[in-house]
Amino acid sequence: RGRRHDERRRRRPRDFVRGTAMMLAISTACRHPPASARPGRTPTTGRRVIPAAMAGRRARAVAVRSVDDAKDDGSSAEVDARRADEEAEQPRRTFGSDVEAIAARGLAGALLEVDARLRIAMRGEAAGSRADTDADALDAKRAAARAEDQAVDIVACLKQTGALRGYGAARLVPRRDYALSELKLNGIEAEKLLSPTESTISGLRDVIGRVALVSVGAWVLSSHPSGAQVTGVLAAGAAALATDQVAFAGGMEALALDTLAQATSQTYVARLRLHEAAHFLVAYLMGILPKGYTLSSADAYKEYGALNVQAGCAFCDGAFQAEVAKGKITSGSLGRFSCVALAGIGMEYVAYGFAEGGVADVRQLDGMLRALAFSQKKSDSEVRWAVLNTISILRRHEGTVRKLSERMAAGASVGECIRLIEDSLGDDV
C-alpha cells in the first residue's frame, strides 16, 4: 500500500503538466481558430460574412422597412401563411337558418338586411343616451342588441361563404416590440401622430373668448352697469359653462365649435371626413362591423337626440364590451381596438403629415391600457405596434379611404360603404 501511494504521488506532477498543456492548447485554439473556421471570414477571400445574430437583426429591420410597399416580402408571406393556417384550423361556424337564408340571397340583398338591422341598432344608441329607468329605452336597447348580433352574424356568414373578401382580412405586421427608430424607418414620426393639435377648434375657441371679453368690455364702457350687474353676467356665463361640462360632457360647446368650424373651414371638413372614413375602413378590415356614423356634431344631435354623444363612427362591439365587463381582454381584441382607435389620426398623418383631431381617441386608448394595468413599457409596445400596423393598412388603402369619405359625405348606408370597400380592394388586403 505504501509503494502504491508513493507511485501515485510521483505520477501526479506528470499528469498535472499533461492536463494543463491540453487545457492551454484548447484555449489557444478557441482564441485563434483557423481562418476557415473564424466567424465573419470566408476561407478563401476573407470577405466579411454577417454573423447569425446580426443577420437576424438585419432581417427584421428589412422586414419592417418593406412592410408597406413590398407585399412579396418574406415576413409578409410568413404572416399571411400563418393567418391562412389559423383560418384553416378554425372550425366553420354554424349559423341560424334565418341568417343562412339571408346570406343565400346574394351580397346585395344580404347587405340590405344588414342595413335594416343596423338602423335598429343605432336607435338603441339614441336610447342609450337616456336614463336606464325609462322602460321604452330599455326595450329599445334590447331590440338594438338583438339586431346588432343578427347583423354581425349575417356579415360573418357572408365572409365564410366568400361573398365578402375584406372583412377581418387585413394583412398585419408581425406582433413584437418595435423601437421608435423602426417607426422612423417606415417614415412615421410618432410625435406628430400621437399628439393631435386641434388647431382649428382651439383657434375658434380663442376667438370666441376674445369676442366675449371685448363684448363685455364694450358693454361696461357704454352702459356703465353696477358692480352687481357685471358680477351677475359673469356668474351666469360661468354657470352655463359648468352646466354644459357636468350635464352634457361639453356637448353644447362641441356642437357650437364644430358647427362654426364646418361653416368656415373646408380643410377642417375634408380632414374630418377622412378621419371617420379611416375609422370605418380599418374597423371593417380588422373584423369589426361599423354600426353607423355621423360627420358633424349637428348630425349626431339629430341622430341621437342628445348633446353628450359626439360625432363619429359607432361599431358593433358587443363581444369586446363583454370581454371588458369580464376584465379579460384577449390580445387579438386589444389589437383590433388599438388599431381602430388610432385609425383617424393615422389617416390625418398619412394625408397631411400631422394629426389635428382625435384627442379623444388617444385618451380612450390610453385609458383602456391604464385600466388593464399595463406597465409603461408594455403600453408603449402595444401603441407602437398598433401605429405601424394601422399606418401600413392606410397606406395600402389610401385611395379607398378617399373614395369612402366621399361616399360617407353623401350619406351612404353602412351596406353601401361595405360594397364600395369590397369593390375597391386589390390583391393585397
Q: Please state, in angstroms and as integers, the Cα–Cα distance from residue 341 to each residue in 122, 199, 387, following that order.
A: 20, 20, 10
Contacts of residue 405, Cβ cutoff 8 Å, sequence gap at least 6:
270, 273, 274, 276, 277
Residue 243: per-residue pLDDT: 85
User: Do 285 and 169 contact (CB within 8 A), yes or no?
Assistant: yes
HEC per residue, 138-191 = HHHHHHHHHHHHHHHHHHHHHHHHCCCCCCCCCCCCCCCCCCHHHHHHCCCCHH
Residue 391: per-residue pLDDT: 97
Report the first-to-last Cα separation within the chain, whole angstroms.
86
HEC per residue, 400-418 = HHHHHHHHHHCCCCHHHHH
Residue 347: per-residue pLDDT: 96
- Phi-psi label, residue 224: left if phi above 0, alpha if psi -120 to 50, beta otherwise: left
CA distance 398 to 405: 11
CA distance 127 to 105: 32
Residue 91: per-residue pLDDT: 67
Contacts of residue 52, Cβ cutoff 8 Å, sequence gap at least 6:
none
Q: Is 66 exposed, middle or buried (0-12, 13-18, 19+ CB in 10 A)?
A: middle
Residue 48 per-residue DSSP state? B
Nearest to 271 by CA among 342, 182, 345, 165: 345
Average confidence (pLDDT) per 10 residues, the chain, 429 residues: 50 44 43 43 38 42 43 47 50 86 94 95 70 69 91 96 94 94 93 88 88 88 86 87 80 87 92 96 96 91 75 90 85 94 96 91 91 91 96 96 96 96 89
Residue 291: per-residue pLDDT: 95
Determine the residue type at 227: G
> What is the sign, positive or negative, of the torsion defined by CA atoms of 309, 312, 314, 319?
negative
User: Do 349 and 361 contact (CB within 8 A), yes or no?
Assistant: no
Residue 353: per-residue pLDDT: 93
Instruction: Supply φ then ψ for residue 48, to 5 degrees.
Output: -70, 135
User: Do 155 and 289 contact (CB within 8 A), yes or no?
Assistant: yes
Residue 292: per-residue pLDDT: 93
Half-sphere exposure (Cβ direction) of 328: Cα atoms closer than 13 Å: 1
Residue positions counted in the chain: 429
